[in-house]
Homo-oligomer: A and B are copies of this chain.
């Protein structure tokens, strides 16, 4: 089974609550299905207008490559031309930094991806993981 809208809402609510608890800057959170298609998105008041593309890009890159944003960033640092090329074949829609997190179910199957943007990349990743854990699923950074 893929992520339900109810699970996606739960992830967003918990991620935004985690950001408020840590007094982060205004966050935006996208939840995608395993094929990289949006299920739900929210942008907090005060965030710059173009945040959808970044949140979506972090999650989309994770869904397409099967690597979380932290892993993508390591790869980009080791082989910048490789990650640039991957981004090219995916139409420039990847953002390979922390904040893109794979969502796995209890069997380990990838059922979606979450992208958070707004604070530092590390903080973005932390709240994405918190949001995923809050609905009983497993995030992979």
Which A residues contact B (CB, under 8 angstroms)?
4-5, 8-9, 33-45, 47-54, 56-57, 63-66, 73, 76-77, 79-97, 110, 121
Contacts and interface: CB of A to CB of B under 8 A. Distances in A.
A85 B94 contact: yes
Contacts of A89: 53-54, 56-57, 92-93, 95
A92 B92 contact: yes
**Total copies of the chain:** 4
B81 A80 contact: yes
A35 B48 CA distance: 9
A99 to B, nearest CB: 10
Contact of A82 (B40, B91, B95): B95
Contact of A37 (B9, B45, B49): B49
B93 A66 contact: no
Contacts of A40: 40-43
Contacts of A42: 5, 8-9, 39-40
